[in-house]
Amino acid sequence: MQLAQRLKAIKPSPTLALNARAKALAAKGVDIAGFAAGEPDFDTPEFIKEAAIDCLRAGFTKYTPTAGIPELREAICAKLQRDNQLTYAPDQVLVSVGAKHSLYNLFQALLNEGDEVIILAPYWVSYPDMVLLAGGKPVIIETREEDGFAPDPEAIRRALTPRTRAVIINSPSNPSGAVLSRAVLEGIAAAVRGHDCLIVSDDIYEKLMYEGEFLNIGNVAPDLVPRLVVVNGMSKSYSMTGWRLGYAAGPKPLIAGMNMIQDQSTSNPTSMVQKGAVAALKGPTDTITTMVTEYRARRELIVSGLNALQGVSCRYPDGAFYVFPNVKALLERSYKGQKVGSSQRLSDILLEDFRVAVMPGAPFGAEGYLRMSFVTSREVIQKGLARIGELIAALS
Ligand SMILES: Cc1ncc(COP(=O)(O)O)c(C=O)c1O
C-alpha cells in the first residue's frame, strides 16, 4: 500500500514504544522495574473524578464548542493570572486533547515548508517530529550538563535566521529536570527580542518543583507576551494522563488558526473531561503538595543511588519527575564480549537481561545519558538500582 510521504519524515514515539515493550513483558509475568513511563503513579484526585461522574449523570455528553466550554476557558485564564501573572482572555485559549495535541495544532497552524523551530537539547522526544510533520525544520541547540542543561542565549541568537518561526522553552524540562533561572530566561528574551518569532513555553511540569522558583519567560520579559504561547495541561500536575486535556494560550490569530485545525480534525475535547478539568483548576491543591513531597523523597533515593554506582553520575533535577544520569563511562565498556556502545543498547540490555525499563538518552537528543522517571514506588526504585548495579558488575 502506498502511504503519504510525510510518514517518512517521522518515527514512532520511542517512549511509547519502550513502554509498550515493558508492559508486554510484564503481562507475561516478568517482574519489570519500570522507569520509562512519563506519568504519575498517583490516582486522579477523587474530587476531579466526582465532577466528571456528576457531569455524565447530568447528561453533559454532547458536542461542546471546539475551543472548550466557556467555563473551562475562563478557569484557565484565572489560573494563568493567579499562578503565572499572565493575562489572557478566553478567546485567546484553545483547549485540546492533551498538551501534545495543543503543540501539534500549534505547529500545523504556524509553519510553512522549511520554516525553522529552535529546540533545546535534551528535548522532549515529540518536538522535532511534530515540527517535521508540519513541514518545518527542527534546529537543535545543544546544552551542557556542566551548565545544568541551561542554554547559552548566545547560541540561540546565532541560530536565529529569517526562517525561524519559534523557539521552544520547556522548564522544568523533560528529560533533564532543568529549571531555567531568571537570568537564563532574561538571556533568551534578549536573544529573541529583535527577531520576529514566537516563544513557545511548555509549562506542563510547572507544579513539580524541588528547587528554585518556576518562572515563565513572560514574567521576566512582559514585552514578549504578545508573541508568547503558553502550553500546559492536566496530565502531570493532577495525574490525569489518560483523560487527555491540555491547552494553549496565546495571540488571537494563532489561537484562531489552531482552532480551525482542531475544528476540521478532532473538534472538542471530551465533554466530561472538560468538567473534570474545571474542578481540578478551581479545586484544592493539597494533592499536588502530597505528590511533590513523595517525589522529592524518591528524587533523593534515586539520585543518591545512581551516584553510588560505578560509572554513573547524576545531577539533581530541580523539577519534573525525571533523572538524566550520565552513563558515558558504561558505553565504553563491554557486555558479553561486545562494546555497549550506545544508550539504546544499554537500555535494551537492561530491559532484556536485567528487567529494568529505562529510556535511552539518544531520542532526547543526548547520547550518553539515560532518562529514568521516578513516578514509581521507593521499593521499585531500590530494586531497579540493584539490578543496574548487577549489570555494571557484569560489564568488562
Ligand atoms: C514536555 C512535555 N510536553 C508535553 C507533554 C504532553 O502531555 P499531555 O499530552 O499528556 O498533556 C509531555 C508528556 O510527556 C511532556 O513531557
Please report, as a single letter, which amino acid is at residue 53: I
Judge if the beta carbon of residue 319 lies within 6 A of ligand 1: no
**Ligand 1 atom with minimal separation from the 15 CA:** 14
Ligand 1 centroid, distance to 99 Cα (angstroms): 6
Judge if the beta carbon of residue 232 lies within 6 A of ligand 1: no
**Ligand 1 atom with minimal separation from the 100 CA:** 9
Alpha carbons 206 and 345: distance in angstroms, whole number = 32
> Is the omega angle on the peptide bond into residue 45 within 30 degrees of 0, that is, cis?
no
Cell digits of residue 350 = 537492561
Alpha carbons 380 and 33: distance in angstroms, whole number = 6
Question: Helices 99-110 and 252-263, interaxial angle, to 10°?
Answer: 110
Q: What is the pLDDT of residues 298-332, one digit of tens each?
A: 999 999 999 999 999 999 999 999 999 999 999 99
Candidate of 15, 39, 94, 100 to mutate for ligand 1, largest count of ligand atoms within 8 Å of Cβ: 100
Of 170, 289, 177, the closest CA to residue 232 belongs to 170
| CA distances (Å), origin 323, targets 131, 162, 216, 239, 301 | 26, 36, 22, 19, 11
Which residue's CA is the nearest one to ligand 1's atom 14? 38
Alpha carbons 9 and 318: distance in angstroms, whole number = 34
Of 99, 31, 48, 34, the closest CA to residue 375 belongs to 34
Judge if the beta carbon of residue 99 lies within 6 A of ligand 1: yes
| Rg, the chain, Cα only | 21
**Could you give the 3-state DSSP secondary structure of residue 8?**
helix
CATH no., domain 5-43+286-394:
3.90.1150.10
pLDDT at 185: 98
Judge if the beta carbon of residue 268 lies within 6 A of ligand 1: no
Alpha carbons 157 and 349: distance in angstroms, whole number = 40
Cell digits of residue 79 = 489560573
**Ligand 1 atom with minimal separation from the 101 CA:** 9
Judge if the beta carbon of residue 246 lies within 6 A of ligand 1: yes
Judge if the beta carbon of residue 317 lies within 6 A of ligand 1: no
Q: List the chain domain ranges.
A: 5-43+286-394, 62-282
Sign of the C-alpha dihedral computed for residues 289, 294, 297 and 298 taken in this order: negative
How deeply is 103 buried, as exposed, middle or buried, from its count of CB atoms within 10 A (0-12, 13-18, 19+)?
buried
Question: Can you give the pLDDT of all 396 residues of the chain as single tens digits?
Answer: 999 998 888 887 777 888 888 888 989 999 999 999 889 999 999 999 999 999 999 999 999 999 999 999 999 999 999 999 999 999 999 999 999 999 999 999 999 999 999 999 999 999 999 999 999 999 999 999 999 999 999 999 999 999 999 999 999 999 999 999 999 999 999 999 999 999 999 999 999 999 999 999 999 999 999 999 999 999 999 999 999 999 999 999 999 999 999 999 999 999 999 999 999 999 999 999 999 999 999 999 999 999 999 999 999 999 999 999 999 999 999 999 999 999 999 999 999 999 999 999 999 999 999 999 999 999 999 999 999 999 999 999
| Fold exhibited by the domain 62-282 | Aspartate Aminotransferase; domain 2 (3.40.640)
**Ligand 1 atom with minimal separation from the 245 CA:** 11
pLDDT at 19: 83
**Could you give the 3-state DSSP secondary structure of residue 44?**
coil
